[in-house]
Chains A and B, each alone.
Chain A
Amino acid sequence: EADIYQTPRYLVIGTGKKITLECSQTMGHDKMYWYQQDPGMELHLIHYSYGVNSTEKGDLSSESTVSRIRTEHFPLTLESARPSHTSQYLCASSDHGGTNEKLFFGSGTQLSVL
């Protein structure tokens, strides 16, 4: 059973606030990802990490930042939220790449910035 957790599930916040979206997995996976999804649009990769102290930007430019100090934890931070950041954010992890990859996704965080 996949054990990857995202909190909060929903977040409504005012413009200019600093927020951190939490993502944790208990499977010992090295690879973790953050995806962003707008309604009816493709999921886009915004950050990924292949291990502790490794973080990279994904295909879609994002003003958010991430950190990977521990294998199980991959939080995403927005220093100053704006309405354009309103979206769903999905965290995922996997232990293999390529054809053997099986991604495990969290339930997502729906962020609304007023």
Chain B
Amino acid sequence: AQSVTQLGSHVSVSEGALVLLRCNYSSSVPPYLFWYVQYPNQGLQLLLKYTSAATLVKGINGFEAEFKKSETSFHLTKPSAHMSDAAEYFCAVCAGNMLTFGGGTRLMVKP
């Protein structure tokens, strides 16, 4: 069985500031890890995914995430937040062909 924990259901940053969204997971088998984003009134879309290649994964819109096995973490970062980044972000783990999602983190960007 696997699980995903996203620390902080709401994160607020100023425009131009660093974005850090935290994700920790547990899995009995080597996992594949994903970050999904849900913009208001839209479906979830894939930001990036880790598939056991490079531990630093770059995604769309300037986001990246680093897989740290020793910490069982897959935190999402972006050097400089934009207003358009305001959305709900979901971390997910895929093991045995099924996805398990975290509870989501709402990112708010202040002008």
Contacts and interface: CB of A to CB of B under 8 A. Distances in A.
B44 to A, nearest CB: 4
Nearest to B42: A107
- Which size class do A's interface residues fall under? 20 to 34
B45 A2 contact: yes
A28 interface: no
Contacts of B94: 98-99, 101
B60 interface: no
Nearest to A31: B97
Interface residues of B, number: 25
B51 A99 contact: yes
A4 B100 CA distance: 20
Contacts of B97: 97-98, 101
A42 B43 contact: no
A14 B98 CA distance: 33
Interface string B87-106: 00010001001111111100
Interface of A: 2, 4, 35, 37, 40-43, 45, 48, 58-59, 90, 92, 97-99, 101-108
